[in-house]
Amino acid sequence: MVSSQFLCHDILSKVFEHLDPGRPSELESIDFPVIVAERIVRKDTLALSARACHAFTAPALDVLWRNVDAFDYILGLFPTYSPTHCGFTDAITDAEWQRFQVYASRVRYVCGSFGQGQQEQVWMVLLQKSGRAPLFPHLESLAVGPSLGALMSLLCPTVYRLHIWFPNPSTSDDKIGSLVADVLKPHIPHISELKLHEYDAHTHEQRPNVDFCKSIDICALLHLEWLELSHPVVVTQLVIQALMTFPDLYHLSLNFSIPAEDRASMEASELSPGFFKLRELRLTASYEDVALFLQATDPVDLERLDIIRELEEWDDDFRGQEEAYAHIPRHIRSIHQVFTDITARDRPRSPGDIYSPEGLLPENVLPSSLQTLPNLREVVVSCQHIGGAFMDDSLLALCAAWPALEIFEYSDFTDVRQWTGPGAPTFDTLLAFVKAHPRLTRLTLPTLSAQGIPDIGAFTDGGALQGWPVHALRLFRLCRYMPPTPMLVLALAIDRAFPWLYVGDPRLYMIKSTHISDVARVDLLTLLLLAVQTTRKISDGETV
């Protein structure tokens, strides 16, 4: 019997807050599968709770509908909407509209993109039905494509976080971008977080740089706390100095280049101090431009730095790599490096044709100048559509670096499924690395050598494993497995070394369909670890 006190709406709301799945990560496609799957389970639990008891319905729906990451969920509220035709087959009735408004009042974040085209006629129907009032009166965060109808339907004074995809200026009509900008301008004063991305960024065609000053009115953005620009822009010394004067800027993301004439003046002069509140900086540029930007701005309280290199096989410029690392502020706590072959976005290479530039060797991307940074807590290197060899010696050399390290990820998401090259990290080196970093909670490695994993007989003799360190690591994964890795023995060894590893709830691993993505999402090592952990808990008398 449920206590009447528990059925109090305020208490239930606080309980369901713990089930909030939140908004999806922008890097969800390469995040830990257990984290992605847990969001799905939380959504399912909230949906079941909303049906379980009348008192549960409102507080559960409040949390479930707070973040709508697919506008199709909204359109599914209308029986007359056809996803096949991307339009309405009949008029929306008053009863259907009232039902929609009940859900719409709960929405705080929405992704307003759907279908493959013909969106404008859907927006026009919704605008007409709403009397041109905002569809979501309490909306706070909006992600939307270059659609006039979407902006007119969704933008409202309560929105403070806007993520908008603009048409690529090199492939679209300038009038579209101008119209979108005109609709957007009146709302800029109440926007504190602004992300301007390209609508068709995943193209291998050359993207021309855009003059920053001609595209954006800096004075109108002076109040921003968060600014992201994904399309390549040309930034001059005056632009950089202007950005440094933003009084509340916390996060800045730029895809930029510095003209040659400005490089000389920046190297010869000093900029006025600024970026006093900047904590996160994300730079997509050449190493030479990254070095000059860091040298000229010297952000005094920077905590996280992301360096993104968009490489091409015929133009893998690593000049200035050492200089860029030398200008990284020594007080930073987190560094992320992303290397991607932009020519492979639309044309994935075959497994035997992976581009592997020499500049991507671990000793180059994690040099001694980075290893001596005293405050680093988070080190992430991600190689996307590109090869990067991470050897046993590479991991061993990092045992002496960053004693307070909490997160280390060296990801290799190429199409190579079987790498038989010598020198892959061994299990002994893995143990030595985690022992040297007692605070480590999250670890990703490209692979492990099939040699060096203890024989299964070692697990029946407690004495043989007494010298092993027991570590409080919570998340662990390998990007790929080398043949002939004994998976069961590997799972037993991982469980013995990391007994508190989080592998999720058993409900996370239910294959609900034969769709390839549903099957591929289940990682073999994680499944074996779940079985080992469950068996151990049952033998210890714990409830599973």
In this structure, is residue 184 part of a structural domain? yes
Q: Which residue has the higher pLDDT, 383 or 418?
A: 383
pLDDT band at 100 (very low <50, low <70, confident <90, very high): very high
In this structure, is residue 207 part of a structural domain? yes
In this structure, is residue 203 part of a structural domain? yes
pLDDT band at 204 (very low <50, low <70, confident <90, very high): very low
Least confident of 97-101, 402-406, 481-485: 481-485
In this structure, is residue 292 part of a structural domain? yes
Q: What is the DSSP letter of 312?
A: B
pLDDT reading at 203 higher than 70: no
Quote the domain boundaries for residue 264. Answer: 160-302
In this structure, is residue 510 part of a structural domain? no
Query: Which pLDDT belongs to residue 393?
Result: 93
Q: What is the DSSP letter of 348?
A: P
| Average pLDDT value for residue range 43-62 | 85
Query: Which pLDDT belongs to residue 330?
Result: 94
In this structure, is residue 218 part of a structural domain? yes
Q: SS3 for 256-295, per residue?
A: EECCHHHHHHHHHCCCCCCCCCCCEEEEECCHHHHHHHHH
| Average pLDDT value for residue range 306-333 | 86
Q: Which residue has the higher pLDDT, 343 or 152?
A: 152
pLDDT tens-digit readout, 451-488: 888 887 677 655 556 666 688 999 999 988 888 889 99
pLDDT tens-digit readout, 131-143: 989 999 999 999 9
Q: SS3 for 196-248, per residue?
A: EEECCCCCCCCCCCEEHHHHCCHHHHCCCCEEEEEEEEECCHHHHHHHHCCCC
Residues in the chain: 544
In this structure, is residue 211 part of a structural domain? yes
Give residue for tokens 């510095």: 258
Determine what percent of the chain is predicted with pLDDT higher than 90.
44
Q: Please give the tally of structural domains in the chain.
A: 1
pLDDT band at 267 (very low <50, low <70, confident <90, very high): confident
Q: Which residues contact 209 (CB under 8 A, 6 or more apart)?
A: 232, 233, 234, 257
294 φ/ψ sector (left φ>0, alpha ψ -120 to 50, else beta): alpha
Q: Which residues contact 128 (CB under 8 A, 6 or more apart)?
A: none
Q: To the nearest whole number, what is the mean pLDDT of the chain?
A: 83
pLDDT band at 69 (very low <50, low <70, confident <90, very high): confident
Cis omega before residue 299 (within 30°)?
no
Query: Which pLDDT belongs to residue 176?
Result: 63
Determine what percent of the chain is predicted with pLDDT higher than 70.
80
**Count of helices and strands (H, E) across the chain:** 20, 17
> What is the Cα–Cα distance from 8 to 287, expressed in whole angstroms?
57
> What is the Cα–Cα distance from 505 to 247, expressed in whole angstroms?
45
Distances (CA, A) of 441 to 4, 334, 405, 469, 536: 40, 14, 9, 15, 22
pLDDT reading at 526 higher than 70: yes
In this structure, is residue 170 part of a structural domain? yes
